[in-house]
Amino acid sequence: MSAAADGWIRRFATDPNSVLERQLCMAGTYLVSQLLFLVPGVSATDLQPVVIGAVLMAAATVAALLMRGPSVPNRFAMIIPLVDIVSVGLLRAGTGGAASIFTALLVLPIISLGVEPGRLPLIVGLPVTVAVVLLPLRYDPTALDGADWLRVFFTPFVLGLTALSVNELTRRLRSRVRAVQRLRRELEELLGQVQDQAAANAATSTLLRETTAQLRSIIDAVTEQAIVGTDPGGRVDVFNAGAQKMFKVAAHDVLGRPLLGALQSRDDIDAGELAAAMDRARAGAAQMSEWTYVQADGSALRLRVAISARHDAAGDIEGFLFVVTDVTHDHEQARMKDEFVNLISHELRTPLSSILGYAELIVDDDEHPLSDEQRRFMAIVERNAQRLLRLVSDLLFTAQVESGRFTVQEQDVDLHAVVRASVEAATPAAHGRDVRLVLSEPDRPLVVRGDAGRLGQAVDNLISNAIKFTQPQGRVAVGLSAITGPGNDADEPDRAVVSVSDTGIGIPADELDRLFSRFFRASTATAHAVPGVGLGLTITRAIAAAHHGQIRVASTVGEGTTFALDLPLPAQQDPNQTLAWRQPAATASASVQK
Amino acid sequence: MTPGPVGGPVRVLVADDDPDIRQLVELAVSRAGLELVASVGTGTAALAAIREHRPSLAVLDVAMPGLTGLEVCAAVRADPAVSGMRLLLLSASVHGEAMEAGGAAGADDYLPKPFRVKELAERIGGAVGVR
């Protein structure tokens, strides 16, 4: 829009409707009309109304000037044309009345009056006009003789119609002006909104660019992990710097291509496996797996891959994210650690084999029987060799658990047999410490799936700990029971519990959380110089976990400790089943005590 | 000397790189009443002695210099001249996979170290059908 057009619209739309402009026009015309007095035949018949009229015209012009002030209400503006009508009426009356040449001047204030807003100026103007038309009678009683009286009605009627027409036209014009003003305001508001929106869009675009750049810099700053994004169909759309470094492939060679096809060399992962992993990720669970990737130079990388689905704002899957970590070094370290542990184990077990073997030969030598003292000394040698052997075995077992190589060969395991064997094996130690060892077991058979040797090791650990931590004259109670979970039939227990309770020195409550940590020893154990290295409970918990069970502990310092090994029972067991191991004389409570 | 299944004495070979353990095994062979034909310290020597003496049973340590006990087992099973003999492995490894590897290599029995001499003697006797 040009500046000129804009100015015109502003002027038009603001509709100043200045009474001063109209009055100046009126006064100018009035003054010019006074030149008619110079025309021969045109003269004042009565000078007084002419002068009064001129004064009124001047007064109206001054009033119009004063009305420019903002404090003057607009409705007072109609006074000016009314005064003009009276002024022209007086001029007319003093220059011949109905025959006056100045009668035509009445049109101007009438139009000015019609311009005033509303109908009130017209209503007020009609009697004023009638009075002005009748005004010549005051100076010449014969002025309306004959048919001239019709002027009293006709002239105001015509002038009134003129004013009404002007008023109506002006009203319509004003309404259009208001409409234009409204449209202009709306246009300005819209323009403002558009400008605001444009500014907001620019800010959003800037923010988006910054965020994208920041995200890109973060992703590319990850140089030790590969971050690969694909669309839902598996075509690569993100390939960060770490991926380029790890796979030795440039991003532009990969983007837009199917993931597996894009990686030039690979192993042990095929399209079917990848699709299955993506399907599982699509279902909501992040997938962890390990791939072997063979590089172009033939070296193999062991990669740990986390696959998760990417979702858009609507929650629909827009692709997949692969975060790949090179664990080749970790695997190599784990392998070296395994080798080291195996080597140490082998090198420790071999001399122990000699010690125990030759000790056995000395003790069992019938040709050269030992004295009682020598037998006692040899027993000490053997006991300590066995202790060292257990420590080596525990270290090796712990290393196996840590490396994830501990597996359980599942078979039916009779828990009664396991618990009885452990109690029997621990009885000499209990005797040695003057601790009463008690076993209670239910009549019903309790068979779990698992490794009898490992379960025996777990129960051995619990009982041997209990005996070690119990003072002479104390008591260790070993219990076997079946429990039923909430909502299950009481006749169909779903878990078996091996509990070992002692009246020992107890464990402080704030140490219970760490009790199963490797090499952790309770403060009460060290304070009482109880031997051990802190591996037994770590191993026991690992065995429980490998059997889908758990181990719980409750303890009070000075009163004792209870450990409970909780193991799941297979779905259905026959409570009337009689197992071969059961002794005919077995009772609900058996005890082995000093 | 205890006779073998075919009437002659049961001949046993012992191989272990640790001389103390080797001597223990020799004692166990003796206590089982069997004839010790050779006692060697390497897998290579064990395989050579087996081919030379053709014993009924070889008691082999798994971790030996030269050929391992597992490799000796595999070589014996692959050699028709001696493939029918009995093989007993001894190992300080307690991994389940070590036992599985022994079985896969063709061993008839496996005994982890440390062992009781009495138990080894029983295993040796059991391996050749002599109790």
pLDDT (tens digit per residue) in A247-258: 888 888 888 888
End residue of a domain, out of A134, A165, A187: A187
Same domain, A248 and A313: yes
Read off the pLDDT of residues B88-130 as tens digits, 9 standing for 90 and up: 999 887 666 777 888 888 999 999 888 889 899 999 988 887 6
Work out the average pLDDT over A542-550: 90
Q: Nearest CB to A350: which of B18, B95, B117?
A: B18
Of B54, B101, B41, the residue nearest B82 (C-alpha): B54
What radius of gyration do chain A's Cα atoms show?
57
CB atoms inside a 10 Å sphere around CB B43: 25
Which chain B residue shows the shortest CA-CA distance from A408? B96
**Dihedral angle at the C-alpha atoms of A186, A189, A191, A194, nearest 10 degrees?**
-120
Number of domains making up chain A: 4
pTM of the predicted model as reported, rounded to 2 decimal places: 0.53
CA A459 – CA A462 distance, rounded (Å): 5
Read off the pLDDT of residues A103-128 as tens digits, 9 standing for 90 and up: 889 899 999 888 888 888 889 988 99
Give residue A471's domain range: 411-592
DSSP secondary structure of A95-143: TTGGG-GGGGGGHHHHHHHHHSSSSHHHHHHHHHHHHHHHTHHHH-TTT
Same domain, A444 and A587: yes
CA A342 – CA A369 distance, rounded (Å): 38
Q: Nearest CB to B114: which of A342, A349, A396?
A: A349
Same domain, A28 and A166: yes
SS percent in chain B: helix, strand, coil, step 5: 40, 20, 35
Residue whose structure tokens are 């309790």: A446
CA B131 – CA B32 distance, rounded (Å): 8
Read off the pLDDT of residues A308-363 as tens digits, 9 standing for 90 and up: 898 888 888 889 999 999 999 988 887 888 788 778 777 888 889 999 999 998 99
Task: Judge whether A547 lies within some domain.
Answer: yes
Q: What is the CATH number of domain B11-127?
A: 3.40.50.2300
CB atoms inside a 10 Å sphere around CB A423: 23
Maximum Cα–Cα distance across chain B? 38
Task: Report residue A487's pLDDT band, with 50, 70 and 90 as the boundaries.
Answer: low
Task: Give chain A positions within 8 Å (CB) of B63.
Answer: 346
Which chain A residue shows the shortest CA-CA distance from B91? A346
Residue A415: the pLDDT is: 93
Read off the pLDDT of residues A456-474 as tens digits, 9 standing for 90 and up: 989 999 999 899 889 899 9
Residue A586: the pLDDT is: 28
Residue A529: the pLDDT is: 67
Q: Tell me how far apart the terminal alpha carbons of chain B are, to the nearest angstrom.
A: 13
CA A54 – CA B89 distance, rounded (Å): 145
**Tokens for A362?**
């000395």
Helix (H) or strand (E) holding A426: helix A415-432
Q: Does A362 touch chain B (CB under 8 A)?
A: no
Contact A357 B114 (CB under 8 A): yes
Same domain, A39 and A108: yes
Read off the pLDDT of residues A27-54 as tens digits, 9 standing for 90 and up: 999 999 999 989 888 888 888 999 999 9
Q: Does A349 touch chain B (CB under 8 A)?
A: yes
Average pLDDT, chain A: 83
CA A395 – CA A479 distance, rounded (Å): 28
The answer to whether A392 and A345 have CB atoms below 8 angstroms apart is yes
CB atoms inside a 10 Å sphere around CB B35: 17
Same domain, A572 and A496: yes
H helix intervals, A118-230: 120-134, 136-139, 151-221
pLDDT at A219 over 70: yes
pLDDT at B5 over 70: no
Work out the average pLDDT over B55-69: 92
Buried b (16+ CB within 10 A) or exposed e, A59-80: ebbebbeebeeeeeeeeebbbb
Which range, of A7-21, A242-256, A304-318, averages the lowest pLDDT? A7-21
Task: Judge whether A208 lies within some domain.
Answer: no
Work out the average pLDDT over A498-512: 90
Task: Judge whether A481 lies within some domain.
Answer: yes
Work out the average pLDDT over B71-100: 87
Residue A30: the pLDDT is: 93
Of A560, A563, A535, the residue nearest A549 (C-alpha): A563
Task: Judge whether A195 lies within some domain.
Answer: no
CB atoms inside a 10 Å sphere around CB A332: 11
Same domain, A353 and A312: no
Residue B94: the pLDDT is: 63
Q: Does A359 touch chain B (CB under 8 A)?
A: no
Task: Judge whether A210 lies within some domain.
Answer: no
Residue A355: the pLDDT is: 93
pLDDT at A201 over 90: yes
Task: Report residue B51's pLDDT band, with 50, 70 and 90 as the boundaries.
Answer: very high
Contact B96 A407 (CB under 8 A): yes
Which range, of A9-13, A133-137, A493-497, averages the lowest pLDDT? A9-13
Helix (H) or strand (E) holding A307: strand A300-311
